Structure 1
Amino acid sequence: MTDCLFCKIAAGTIPVKRLHEDEQVLAFPDINPQAPVHVLVIPKRHLASHAHATTEDAAMLGHLLSAAGEVAQAQGLENGYRLVINTGPDGGQTVDHLHVHLLGGRHLGWPPG
């Protein structure tokens, strides 16, 4: 997707601080942090949202969550963290590329919003 912000980031066209990267996923700080630690973890392959995922995406989705856990550990979030996947306009998704928000570094209240 040539016009997708996160595809451009994954391709290296738009520079970011790469906190974690492997063949399938990339993690980088959110530009509008909502917690002391706010990292986005994205698949490098374009997938518009969680709603667009199929059973063929199961391995990638598992890897995405596993990578988020590795990033949480590397960020020192031993007291806990929250993973959020916003899906669609009513779910608060603002970039049409699947991404996981990793939030931590403070107590996170419930309900979230």
Structure 2
Amino acid sequence: MADCLFCKIAAGEIPGDIVYQDQDVVAFNDIHPQAPHHILIIPRAHIASMAELKPEHGDILMKVFTVANQLARDLKLDSGYRFVTNIGPDAGQSVNHLHFHLLGGRQFGWPPG
């Protein structure tokens, strides 16, 4: 999508602190980190949010989760981490491109928010 910030980062049109990329998935450090480790993981394909997912997106979701697990291992987040997505403005989604937050390096409270 031409005006999507995350599509532009994935395409290399604007800079991002990329920590992982392949043909399907891009992961980069959040510019407003909420934890010592705060990585956004996105599919290259534009999907607005989890609310737009269809059965045919199953393979890309598996890839996103696999990348998240590998990044958590690489960062040695053995004591735990949080992996979340926000759906819609009331939940805090500010970019309309499916993205997951991998947060770690500190203890998190419950309930979130």
Q: Alignment partner of 1:102: what SS?
A: strand
Distance (Å, rounded) in 1 between the aligned partners of 2:31 and 2:17? 11
Among all aligned residue pairs of Structure 1 and Structure 2, give the percentage whose two residues are the same amino acid: 54
State the alpha-carbon separation in 1 of the partners of residues 55 and 33 from structure 2. 32
Q: CA deviation at 1:35?
A: 0.5
Alignment of 1:25-64 (within 5 A): 25-64=25-64
Match of 2:89 in 1: 89
Aligned to 1:2: 2
2: CA distance, partners of 1:22 / 1:72: 17
Indicate the RMSD between aligned Cα atoms, in angstroms: 0.8
**Structure 1 residue ranges, 4+ long, deviating more than 2 angstroms after superposition:** none
| Gap runs ≥5 in structure 1 | none
Q: Taking structure 1 as the reference length, what is the TM-score of the superposition?
A: 0.96
- Following the alignment from structure 1 to structure 2, what is the Cα–Cα distance between the partners of residues 90 and 17? 27
**What SS does structure 1 have at the residue aligned with 2:6?**
helix
Instruction: Report deviation, 1:63.
Output: 1.0
SS of 2:18's equivalent? Answer: coil
Q: Deviation of residue 75 (structure 1)?
A: 1.6
Q: Which deviates further from its counterpart, 42-51 or 71-80? A: 71-80
| SS at 1:40 equivalent | strand
Where 1:19 maps in the other structure, the secondary structure is strand
Q: Which runs of 5+ in 2 are unaligned?
A: none
Distance in 1 between residues matched to 2:50 and 2:3, nearest whole Å: 19
Please name the residue that 2:105 is paired with: 105
